[in-house]
Structure 1
């Protein structure tokens, strides 16, 4: 049937008056709404919008086009479905792009930071001054002396550790009483040791430790390691990484965001959990 049938409706306002009672739950003699609902309920091919340049991108554009008149119910329904589908896809893509860029920002290692670790590792291997035992032998008793102010910094980021340590010592009223215990992972231990060997923060005392130095930090004693091992199994399910997750056109954006989060290293970094096992000291935790 035509929108202009019977009462000769020639614009969207007239048609709205015809459709209004049906939308409000009252009966309507015209079959126009049923035809519209039937078309809107049809299965939509994901490629149906390809190549179309006349799809209204906003409600204002849609209303302007409809007010020109001359559209039957089928054309109206098709145009409406195209507009709504276009807006849904645009919104979905914007959400996914937001999650994608956040994932890249959290997951990426700046080239300068990566190169710094490599240079420090090389310095550790070739320069005896970069392999100093921290702290020196005469300062070891201070590590367990409760008259000092003890801080723990758990991180695998050398540059961040340097900034926090320098700020802590600089702003301390008694820097000579500060003991900073730096805990890092196996890969960052040598670069971290090299940095603080070459850049001491006297009179503060700096200790650099790797996780493997903790005898009790095993799966038997630290259940977080067991949980992280299970998490690795979950991560292995997402073959193809972030690209494959984003390419899924059927997942909701919030589901895609959750899957991307699983791939971010900081959520499975041991240094983000070591503070759990140090309840009696002040802890400064820096993410991966």
Structure 2
């Protein structure tokens, strides 16, 4: 069978009048520039095949490849034919194109314009740009065709070449700017950069929000400050009256181990009054309940707390013992590493929070005591905690873990050898707020000494965050904690708006842990009434200080 006859590329008539060297220079410059503009991997093989001489495959055993002829026409753009019967044009130079070659760059401009229309780009400007680009090259081809009948001199050729270069330069800039619309990798990278930037902004906003919440939770509202000042003023005006009413801390009624003793560490008068009031109202035998309130060594905090409970003593025979840190002589920098750090200028340690680790020394006559934090509300008689079987453990507490959450790995730094050797990262964490301590077992296990060892190891803050007291408790009572039934202590009312109402109703104690304390304006409204109903509204100073309860 006869080999297929090749088809030929017929250049426009104008090009036949241009000197061969100039024609070749203009054509190659134009095509190379346009290939860079379009950045098309399909155009590069075409240019190489145009520059390389035709391959002689006559001696090859392979089947001859079909040839295609492309005829440049200003009216038709680029046409292709596969018929082997087309006659050759002797007067025109022939450039053999294989079938693997793709259309001329002019056709690629039309293709980009067609792609923009089919894709329905959101930006009409992009579509208009490609249409104008296609029209520009069509006009250039038409101009060349219309001038083919006349001989062009060198000046005309230079003008034509200058015009072509300007259009190519414009096309390069336009397509470079529009390349993003067709480059999926660039879009993906840009999307990744956007997501990363948004995540950075989100993390920054979370940190700022957390800092703002901590500032709000740690600040003293004007109403509470007003209350402290009025209570202090009342003490100054009537010092003799109040001094006579202050009970002896060593009186049998306050140190009787057969009574139910509670420890509260706080200088928030209104919060402590709610804890005491709710516990007394929920108790079956209020006269057996004794509340030991330890305040800051500041004179104002201690005196205002005393005046409140001297003016508004708990009902039904319950007792309140208010004492200042300075009244416990053993609490000094030579004995306590916490006091040493605080006196050394550590601002991240709250001394009142860490006093819970000295309960056996503060109350040497007691055998068992329940620790209550100042942001809890008691809803059920707590006498059962004093009869709970701790199984020889020091601490009875409600566990917080579920699944992989709130384990020791959340609170302790397991990248340090001191933590990795002593604790398991999967150990379940428990919470402070309602804790029953067997002080006899505490003394036998020397838990205070263990706390001192861990606190000294954590002086640089590498083992845990020293700004919170829970990690120190988890470390100190690691093997000496007995889990309590969960209804004794329901947590989360200071940050979680989704706490079950059934859990709240059945809870012995509800805990407003978190930054949204019930005495603050940022409190969760659905829980605030659970706290405000125990506020002593008959206290005469509350209306004067604009408490909005």
Question: TM-score, with normalisation over the residues of structure 2?
Answer: 0.32
For the aligned residue pairs, the C-alpha RMSD in angstroms reads 3.6
Q: Which runs of 5+ in 2 are unaligned?
A: 1-35, 44-120, 128-174, 361-367, 376-516, 518-549
Residues 96-145 of structure 1, C-alpha deviation per residue, up to 9 Å, x if partnerless? 332232232223211111111111111111134444543269x9221221
Aligned pairs, number:
200
Q: 2:314 aligns with which of 187, 201, 207?
A: 201
Q: Distance in 1 between matches of 2:273 and 2:252?
A: 24
2:359 corresponds to which residue? Answer: 278
Q: 1:213 aligns with which of 327, 332, 342?
A: 327
Partner secondary structure for residue 251 of structure 2 = helix
Residues 42-91 of structure 1, C-alpha deviation per residue, up to 9 Å, x if partnerless? xxxxxxxxxxxxxxxxxxxxx966xx675236997599287456524532
Q: What is the CA-CA distance between 1:271 and the residue it aligns to? A: 1.4
Q: Which runs of 5+ in 1 are unaligned?
A: 9-62, 236-261, 263-267
Change (3 A) 1:72 1:186: same
Q: 1:153 aligns with which of 264, 268, 271?
A: 264
1:171 corresponds to which residue? Answer: 282
Of structures 1 and 2, the one scoring higher in RCO (CA 8 A, sep 6+) is 1
Corresponding position: 1:72 with 2:179:
yes
Question: TM-score, with normalisation over the residues of structure 1?
Answer: 0.58
Q: Distance in 1 between matches of 2:218 and 2:288?
A: 37
Corresponding position: 1:116 with 2:116:
no
Q: Distance in 2 between matches of 1:180 and 1:4?
A: 82
Q: What is the CA-CA distance between 1:3 and the residue it aligns to? A: 6.0
Change (3 A) 1:64 1:135: farther
Alignment of 1:198-277 (within 5 A): 198-202=311-315, 203-230=317-344, 232-233=345-346, 235=347, 262=348, 268-277=349-358
Partner secondary structure for residue 218 of structure 1 = coil
Q: What is the CA-CA distance between 1:275 and the residue it aligns to? A: 1.2
CA contact 1:124–1:131 (8 Å) conserved in 2: no
Q: Distance in 2 between matches of 1:64 and 1:93?
A: 33
Change (3 A) 1:142 1:64: farther
CA contact 1:3–1:73 (8 Å) conserved in 2: no
Q: Distance in 2 between matches of 1:117 and 1:164?
A: 18
Residues 11-35 of structure 1, C-alpha deviation per residue, up to 9 Å, x if partnerless? xxxxxxxxxxxxxxxxxxxxxxxxx
Q: Distance in 1 between matches of 2:225 and 2:182?
A: 58
Structure with greater helix percent:
1
Moved more, 191-200 or 74-83: 74-83
Change (3 A) 1:121 1:84: same
